Amino acid sequence: MKEYQTITEISGPLVFAEVDEPVGYDEIVEIETDDGRTLRGQVLESSDGLVSIQVFEGTGGIDRNASVRFLGETMKMPVTEDLLGRVLDGSGEPIDGGPEIVPESREDIVGEAINPFSREYPEEFIQTGVSGIDGMNTLVRGQKLPIFSGSGLPHNELALQIARQATVPEEEEAGDDEEGSEFAVIFGAMGITQEEANEFMDDFERTGALERSVVFMNLADDPAVERTVTPRLALTTAEYLAFEKDYHVLVILTDITNYCEALREIGAAREEVPGRRGYPGYMYTDLAQLYERAGRIEGKDGSVTQIPILTMPGDDDTHPIPDLTGYITEGQIVMDRNLNSQGVEPPVNVLPSLSRLMDDGIGEGLTREDHGDVSDQMYAAYAEGEDLRDLVNIVGREALSDRDNKFLDFADRFETEFVQQGYDNNRSIEETLELGWDLLSDLPKEALNRIDEDLIEEHYREDEAETAEVEA
């Protein structure tokens, strides 16, 4: 290990140093300042004689006399099953006052890509107990399903509700004696406020979830550059627990927007050619390296399921962060400001939401035979109702036909009864689908063109349609 006192330039989060021996790309660096602090960083660019180093803790306090040590290895995360129940800071050091972590192995935090040939296609339904998700945008094990939210929307409540309620119904029936895999939650916080962090911690403690969780905390006042490592530490831990220790791991990453801001900061400091809105051109690749670390592997019992949370600047889903995310993840759950102000809990707008893996995770033997058709029909009916609302604003309800009025009523009930459920209400998939039929039965039978005729016979509630008609 060689030590240098050759810093030539300090700029933003970057330090440039001269070296006389070659240094590897991505290698870890320790910088010791005059006042005895040790800061950690990573090699961003290595050329003969000069390296640029990104310092995680920020470059404050570094001067040209500081000494630079190259550790000769890339960044590693010490992993062990004992991490469960622990709270770590954004660079993986314990901050809960607990004992030192004795690692079982040390894993490279830049995970290698999973060979697509070795993956197992995710198709195990996860029941989150939230109708807007289970019924309309089903989550499956090994999926990456982000929550697209906005500032001031209750995305944290929804994420917590999912973490609390998520189960796989079949395994629950099988009972505890079955040698099923255990469930673990990894929480990676990037640049969230102390208050938000407390909200999560309190909930974890209250429900006892903490003992099966690993928490990584990079708070709003922690160094921004550290945010680029936090999710990688979290995912390395998740992969270890899932693929070495057979856990079913749910990873919640919040807030991806802060992560991207940190990327932009580094890019700007390196004077890179910026891409859209100043974000680096490689942001797609970089985000993919996070999101793609979810899934199942053939022959392994565990799985990594990811729920990243991002706040869309200006609620704009064409902003580069949600846009690139949507191209990588397997769908998205979109939170809606209007629904939120109407008091719908959780305010999930199902129309722009999507789960790409839904079709393979539902249906006979997985959830219920009618699930796909019911969800398609509700989508179509709700979309039609939404369209009609615009029209009502212009011509008034009286000008609309009977059929149209029924679709309007459907859209209202869909929001206030189906999506609306409260954060402590855990609905089984049966309950969700029955509620769906309850709503659909208000529509005329012939309008249900997305549902198989046999299924309509089996589930459609004639009496309700009639009463609805009589009332009308």
Partner 1 sequence: MSQAEDIESVDQDGVIESVSGPVVTATDLDARMNDVVYVGDEGLMGEVIEIEGNLTTIQVYEETSGVGPGEPVENTGEPLSVDLGPGVLDAIYDGVQRPLDVLEEKMGTAFLDRGVDAPGIDFETEWEFTPTVDVGDTVEAGDIVGEVPETESITHKVMVPPDYEGGEIESIENGAFTVDEVVAELSSGEEITMHQEWPVRQARPADTKETPTVPLVSGQRILDGLFPIAKGGTAAIPGPFGSGKTVTQHQLAKWADADIVVYVGCGERGNEMTEVIEDFPELEDPKTGKPLMSRTCLIANTSNMPVAARESCIYTGITIAEYFRDMGYDVALMADSTSRWAEAMREISSRLEEMPGEEGYPAYLAASLSEFYERAGKFQNINDTEGSVTAIGAVSPPGGDFSEPVTQNTLRIVKTFWALDADLAERRHFPSINWNESYSLYRQQLDPWFRDNVADDWPEVRQWAVDVLDEEDELQEIVQLVGKDALPEDQQLTLEVARYLREAWLQQNAFHDVDTYCDPKKTYRMLLAIKTFNDEAFDALEAGVPVEEITDVDASPRLNRMNTSDEWNEFIDELESELEEQIRSLY
- 308-367 residues in contact with partner 1 (CB under 8 A) are 317-320, 323-324, 326-328, 330-332, 351-352, 354, 356-357, 359-360
Does 462 contact partner 1 by CB under 8 A? no
Tell which one of 63, 110, 178, 458 touches partner 1 (CB under 8 A): 110
Interface with partner 1 in residues 143-172 (CB under 8 A): 143
* Element housing 470 (H / E): helix 462-471
Minimum CB distance to partner 1 smaller for 85 or for 363: 363
Helix 283-291 × helix 320-328 angle, to 10°: 50
Min dist. Cβ of residue 107 to partner 1 (A)? 11
φ/ψ region of 271 (left if φ > 0, alpha if ψ in -120 to 50, else beta) reads: left
> Cα torsion for 69, 73, 77, 82, to the nearest 10°?
-90
Q: What are phi and psi of 409, to 5 degrees?
A: -60, -40
The two tokens of residue 418 are: 């189906």
* Three-class HEC string of 405-456: HHHHHHHHHHHHHHHCCCCCCCCCHHHHHHHHHHHHCCCCHHHCCCCCHHHH
Sole residue written with tokens 């565990």: 302
Q: How far is the CB of 70 from partner 1 (least distance, A)?
A: 10
CB of 316 to partner 1, least distance (A): 8
| Listed ranges 89-97, 244-252, 297-305, 458-466: which one lies at the site for partner 1 (CB under 8 A) | 297-305
Task: Say whether residue 120 binds partner 1 (CB under 8 A).
Answer: yes
| 2, 11, 22, 63: residue in contact with partner 1 (rule CB under 8 A) | 22
Q: How far is CA 192 from CA 158, 221, 222, 235, in A?
A: 16, 9, 9, 18
Q: According to CB under 8 A, which one of 295, 308, 361, 436 is a site residue for partner 1?
A: 295
Nearest to 199 by CA among 138, 156, 255: 156
Smallest gap, in angstroms, from Cβ of residue 449 to partner 1? Answer: 4
Q: Which of 90, 326 has the CB closer to partner 1?
A: 326
112 binds partner 1 (CB under 8 A): yes
Q: Which is nearer to partner 1, 274 or 422 (CB)?
A: 274
Subset of 228-247 contacting partner 1 (CB under 8 A): 243
- Looking at the Cβ atoms of 24 and 98, the one nearer to partner 1 is 24
Task: Find the binding residues for partner 1 in span 407-436 (CB under 8 A).
Answer: none
Tell which positions 189-228 bind partner 1, by CB under 8 A. none
105 near partner 1, rule: CB under 8 A: no
Among 93, 99, 449, 471, indicate the residue that binds partner 1 (CB under 8 A): 449
Query: Which is nearer to partner 1, 413 or 450 (by Cβ)?
Result: 450
CA atoms within 13 A on the CB side of 199: 15
For partner 1, the closer of residues 175 and 299 by Cβ is: 299
Distance of closest approach, residue 164 Cβ to partner 1, in angstroms: 26
Q: Does 457 bind partner 1 (CB under 8 A)?
A: no
Residue in 111, 142, 109 with CA at minimum distance from that of residue 125 = 142
Looking at the Cβ atoms of 169 and 363, the one nearer to partner 1 is 363
> Is there a contact between 4 and 68 (Cβ–Cβ < 8 Å)?
yes
Nearest distance from C-beta of residue 466 to partner 1, angstroms: 18
Angstrom distances, CA of residue 307 to CA of 77, 83, 158, 248, 294: 21, 20, 11, 14, 10
In the list 166, 372, 421, 427, the residue contacting partner 1 (rule: CB under 8 A) is: 372
- Cα distance between residue 399 and residue 405, in whole Å: 10
User: Could you say whether residue 71 binds partner 1 (CB under 8 A)?
Assistant: no
Nearest by Cα to 353 from 317, 328, 387:
317
Residues in region 377-406 near partner 1 by CB under 8 A: 379-380, 383-384, 390-391, 394-395, 399-401, 404
Q: Distance between CA atoms of 253 and 329, rounded to whole angstroms?
A: 13
Shortest approach of partner 1 to residue 158 CB, angstroms? 19
Closest CB to partner 1 among 86 and 232? Answer: 232
Q: Please count the residues of this chain forming the interface with partner 1, following the rule CB under 8 A.
A: 88
Query: Which residue, 211 or 466, has its beta carbon nearer to partner 1?
Result: 466
Pick the closer one to partner 1 by CB: 10 or 448.
448
Q: Does 108 bind partner 1 (CB under 8 A)?
A: yes
User: What is the Cα–Cα distance from 383 to 411, expressed in whole angstroms?
Assistant: 8
The smaller minimum CB distance to partner 1, of residues 95 and 351, is found at 351
Q: For 318-370, where are the alpha helices, taking DSSP H only?
A: 320-328, 337-341, 358-361
Q: How far apart are CA 448 and CA 436, in angstroms?
A: 13
